[in-house]
Chains A and B, each alone.
Chain A
Amino acid sequence: MKWARRAAMTFLVVVLAAGLLANWIAPDSYARQFRDLPDVAPSSQHWLGTDDLGRDRFSRLLYGTRISVLLAPAAALVSSALAALIGGAAGFAGGWLEGCVMAATDLFLSLPWLFLLITARAFLPLNVSPLASVAITFALLGCLGWAAAARVICADARALCDSDILLLARASGSSGWRLLRRHVIPNLMPVLSAQFWISIPVFILTEANLGILGLGVAEPLPSWGSLLRELENFSAFSAQPWLFAPLLLLVLTVSCFHVALENREVWT
């Protein structure tokens, strides 16, 4: 599996680099409208054709990569950290604290957060730059996406408490950070890496859907999510296969994360 990991890592680095270097690589600005060429098929001038306003799809994909590949994993990291913190604390503490935290988690899973997001939009100024808007959106997603994983982590932490591992470790004199680093975190890792991996595409897609609330990426900035929304125009499916390019890139990236997050001890 070493080769697979290496290939995945290389791919991720290439994608990230392409996003970061979009200013130099992209043939056009992401906002430039070739108004005489809306919705054209791929050509040597426009590798992935143009969108319905005549903007170069390839350039938009590159600039979108920068936003999505940087911000979505960051938000996923936030949500995983929150899940670890909240679920872990509840699981280890047990008792009434666990009851309260788990009740809060249940509430978190069932409340209509849509309205919180609408309210958040109302508190933001209208003249916020597209980049700030998308950063805020991902931050919100990171803060709201932890609940499901926290429940599993809590069960995980409780099992860990009951197991002999911690007892043995304590007996052998480990404590504090060392205990956390050597025993607790590695044991919570499977759930956390699953949460991290799942959150990336979910957040990328949710960001685009939040566009209807005035959150997320604002025109003219592109993101993978907003590019993927073009697929919702189903009639375009068969006639314009190049519309699948962002989906393909996203699937490949997410798969590479899957491989890269591989539990080392298992496969070696």
Chain B
Amino acid sequence: MKRRELIALLVVGFCRALPGAPGSWAQPGSQLRFCIHSEPKTLNPLLVDDDASETIRYLTGGVLVRLNRMTQQLQPELAIAWKMNRAGDAISFTLRKNVRFSDGTPFSAADVAYTIHRLMDPAMHSPTGDSFRFGNGEVETRMGGEDRIYIKFPAPIAGLDKLFDQVAILSVNSPNREMAVLGPYYVAENKAGSYLLLKRNANYWKRDSAGRQLPYIESIHIDIEQNRDIEMLRFERGEIDFIDSLSAENYDRLAARAPATIHDAGVSMDAEQIWFNQFPNAPLPDYKKAWFASARFRSAISESIHRADLARVVFHGHAQPAVSWISPANRFWFDARLRPYPFDQKSALRLLTQDGFSLRNGVLYDRSGRTVEFSLITNAGNSSRERMAAMIQQDLAGVGIRLNIVTLDFPSLLERITRSYAYEACLLGLVNNGLDPDAQMNVWLSSGENHIWNPNQKTPATAWEAEIDRLMRAQASTMEAKKRKEAVDEVQEIVWRQAPFIYLVNKDALVAVSTNLHNVHPVALQPQVYWNIEQLWMGPTRRRDR
């Protein structure tokens, strides 16, 4: 396993490169503080689906393999070696020995088998489990002693090994059930709606290059704080140690006041996008359905939007025009041949004219003489989205289109886009969780629940959707990276041409980190700041407590 050795070398090399590590192995009394922005919906690692719960799972869960957020490569954790079969439906792991859960229960292959069976239990409805679910049938596990396990899935899964980054191993024997963990921290206190306190797992297996047990920081205090301004205030007061996914305004503000704390980790995985409702039974007039179904209309809208202005004005330059459903941050899968739609309203008008639209006295009319007007819904409370919408409104006025902006509370918005389909266009950022395009099957398959512009189709509504279906299935059925990449590139190009999603910008990953927190290397992938939590350590400065 040449690859594994290389990764091991990387890890060791990385540890060596650390700036002077602290004197003792743990820092007594050291506490990392930060805010999450909503209540974690669950502490059960199998059921995690929201960001807040994912934060807790990342900090407490022990996984077999970890996707290094910086190198975007897998690195060994509880498994010291792994091997997939050629068909891509089975994987075997060699496990680390002498590892214990946070409550002292020993870790063995039986725990992995138990976790996999729980995960794949259809009654569990685990989002993580669902990403392994291709084809019907039972998952099969075979143990080879204490430290070997072989797992066979009913159907091949592209990118199978990387999916284990999300699987926190549970204990089959521990009386504490899910609260017994293998990660660097465990949940010591949970005050609903207020804060969580994590404490250092004294049984954590990982050691630094000098053989000292990790993690260095003794406890983590996580406050639930929805208000980003108050979070910022608390950061400036030194009450919290970092902020991730910082807004561009706050980034610039800190750039003036405390330039040593801010980091722009480059383009992130998040994209902002617009799409038109193309659901055939949507409660919309037929002429509007006809507009939205036209690729020329959608491309014309796309060409009428000044993406560079959006990036410059709304995101203060900390964003770049977006091209595709895969962010450039996803180094392997992004199709580098694609170029963003240029801002060209003349070309947009030419496209519209081909569809029978005409511009008279600054107002655009369709074939049957109706003025072109539609509404754009977006979620309230997201100021950058509200500003983007206002700028797009101005841009579209340039081609004679009247855009009505409606901000809705999130549940109402969801109801409109997933149940009642009572909307015309929507501006939202859909979050990409994994690097592998397989995670987005439900978005691109025309039969998918998340094929959001026209979900749950019995048969593909258009030829290009049928072609995307074919390509997405093709990439999922082969294990050859090159072939998969070719298919995914082609999907990206079709999506670019047909513009079912009009991609606007990819935001940069902006973070602020206290100068008191050391060994931080912010990255574009989540979690941006604490992906190497066990290696972080605090400087000697005493903080002002709340």
Contact = CB atoms under 8 A, between A and B. Distances in A.
Interface of A: 31, 33, 35, 38, 52-54, 118, 121-122, 126-130, 211-214, 218-220, 232-235
A48 to B, nearest CB: 18
B121 interface: no
Given A53-B391, A128-B404, A235-B250, 17 more contacts: A33-B390, A35-B309, A52-B314, A53-B390, A118-B412, A126-B424, A127-B373, A129-B404, A212-B380, A214-B377, A214-B380, A214-B406, A214-B408, A219-B386, A232-B229, A234-B233, A235-B232
Nearest to B306: A35
6 contacts: A35-B313, A127-B424, A213-B409, A214-B409, A218-B405, A233-B249
B195 interface: no
Interface string B361-377: 00000000000011101
A213 B411 CA distance: 10
A219 B390 contact: yes
B82 interface: no
A232 B424 CA distance: 31
Contacts, number: 75
Given A35-B309, A127-B373, A220-B393, A212 B386 contact: no
Contacts of A233: 229, 249
B477 interface: no
B381 interface: yes
Contact of A127 (B313, B314, B381, B404): B404
B229 A126 contact: no
B404 A53 contact: no
A40 to B, nearest CB: 12
Interface of B: 229, 232-233, 249-250, 253, 309, 312-314, 373-375, 377, 380-381, 386-387, 389-391, 393-394, 404-409, 412, 422-424
Contacts of B412: 118, 121-122, 213-214
Contact of A212 (B407, B422, B424): B407
Given A35-B309, A118-B412, A211 B229 contact: no
A233 B250 CA distance: 10
Contact of B229 (A33, A53, A214, A234): A234
A235 B309 CA distance: 24
Contact of A218 (B232, B391, B406, B424): B406
Contacts of B377: 126, 214
A126 B393 contact: no
A211 B391 contact: no
A38 B406 contact: no
A128 B374 CA distance: 10
A234 B377 CA distance: 27
Most buried by A among B394, B406, B407, B412: B406
Given A52-B387, A213-B409, A33 B404 contact: no
Contacts of B253: 235
Contact of A121 (B387, B394, B408): B408
B88 to A, nearest CB: 46
Contacts of A54: 313
Given A211-B407, A218-B406, A38 B313 contact: yes
Contacts of A118: 409, 412
Contacts of B233: 234
A33 B409 CA distance: 27
A119 to B, nearest CB: 9
A146 B464 CA distance: 57
Nearest to A213: B409
Nearest to B312: A35
Contacts of A33: 390-391, 394
A209 B390 CA distance: 18
A249 to B, nearest CB: 23
A212 B381 CA distance: 6
A268 to B, nearest CB: 49
B249 A126 contact: no
A126 B406 contact: yes
A52 B313 CA distance: 8
Contacts of A38: 313
B118 to A, nearest CB: 38
A54 to B, nearest CB: 7
Nearest to B411: A118
A213 B313 contact: no
Contacts of A213: 380, 408-409, 412
A128 B406 CA distance: 9
Given A212-B381, A214-B380, A235-B253, A126 B404 contact: yes
Contacts of A234: 229, 233
Given A35-B313, A219-B389, A235 B380 contact: no
Contacts of A127: 373-375, 404, 424
A248 B314 CA distance: 28
A220 B391 CA distance: 9
Contact of B423 (A126, A130, A232): A126
Contacts of A214: 377, 380, 406-409, 412
Most buried by B among A33, A211, A218, A219: A219
Most buried by B among A31, A38, A53, A122: A53
Contacts of A220: 390, 393-394
B377 to A, nearest CB: 7
Contacts of B393: 219-220
A126 B386 contact: no
A31 B393 CA distance: 10
Nearest to A122: B412
Contacts of A219: 386, 389-390, 393, 405
Nearest to A55: B390
Contacts of B422: 126
Nearest to A129: B404
A16 B291 CA distance: 43
A52 B387 CA distance: 8
